[in-house]
Amino acid sequence: MTEESKPTLNARRAFLAKLGGAATCAGAAMGAATLGILPNATAKSEPGADGASFPNENYDWSKHEWAFGVDATKCIGCLRCVEACKRENDVPQNAHQFRTWVERYVHLEGDDEVHIDSQQDPVNIEASGSEKTFRFANRYKDAKVYKAFFVPKLCNHCTHPSCVQVCPTGATFRTKDGVVLVDETYCIGCRYCVQACPYGARFFNEEKHVADKCTWCYHRITKGLQPACVEVCPVGARMFGDREDKQSPISLFIRNNRVQVLKAEMGNAPNVYYVGIDKEVN
């Protein structure tokens, strides 16, 4: 190997100097970031800091574990829940996007196939007169009905929600009290969560351009009220409560009944418990 010529040596030194300078700058920046000289997250005065009650002083989410129950043997398919939810939560006024809905299952005599319909069915839309009010058309009143029942549906607020898993930004999440929410200021509207939900509980809100779904009326339950759908149900087919309280209606419902959940095989661990559904309800 020949001795390096001076220009090359100088070039090498210059390069090393430059590299050293770059490394120092990078290191300093990294250090600054790590030390948190840059703006930090929690300020002392914000709720939730140092174990204070969150989300507000009247309600502490760490003290509740919410769950929902549906007794489908009681449901009369009046759809007050659907209407109330739409009004309570500003859900778009149409018959194709719901935070909660009711399905009707009908078996006719001599017919193997089950007939299922819900609020988006054109015949039902016709019966109600518009896409803003809801009603089941009495289409089977002259038929020989072998078996029929109604099943209310809503977001299951799963313990292992598919929607939360797939959200690329963290706009949808599960709270400490077990409610899956959507941050409408952060959602980018990609609708991956709408695809991922096995239950069809989510939809894309065209007015706000974000994903939307049942929140178990979080703004009500954190004030000691019931979700709107539970409140208006005239027959008590829906119930809601705190599993932390072993004597709450929902705890007793789960304890005293053989309850089941929808699509258990998905592994989502839903928190809406059903009594009185049938084999083809999924």
Site residues for other proteins, window 44-103 (CB under 8 A)? 46-48, 54-56, 59, 61, 73-80, 84, 87-88, 92, 94-98, 101
Q: Does 274 bind other proteins (CB under 8 A)?
A: no
Binding mask 10-39 for other proteins (x = CB under 8 A): -xx--x--xx--xx-xx--xx--x----xx
Q: Which is nearer to other proteins, 56 or 159 (CB)?
A: 56
Q: Using H for helix, E for strand and C for coil, what is the string for the chain?
A: CCCCCHHHHHHHHHHHHHHHHHHHHHHHHHHHHHHCCCCCCCCCCCCCHHHCCCEECCEEHHHCCEEEEEECCCCCCCCHHHHHHHHHHCCCCCCCCCCEEEEEEEEECCCCCEEEECCCCHHHHHHHCCCCCCCCCCCCCCCCEEEEEEEEEECCCCCCCHHHHHCCCCCEEECCCCCEEECCCCCCCCCHHHHHCCCCCCEEECCCCEEECCCCCHHHHCCCCCCHHHHHCCCCCEEEEECCCCCCHHHHHHHHCCCECCCHHHCCCCCEEEECCCCCCC
- Please give the size of the binding site for other proteins, defined by CB under 8 A: 120
Q: Does 222 bind other proteins (CB under 8 A)?
A: yes
Q: Does 173 bind other proteins (CB under 8 A)?
A: yes
Q: Which is nearer to other proteins, 1 or 41 (CB)?
A: 41
Q: Given candidates 60, 68, 70, 106, which one binds other proteins under the rule CB under 8 A? A: 106
Q: Does 264 bind other proteins (CB under 8 A)?
A: no
| Closest distance to other proteins from the beta carbon of 181 (Å) | 6
Interface of this chain with other proteins, residues 136 to 155, rule: CB under 8 A:
136, 138, 140-141, 143, 145, 148-150, 153
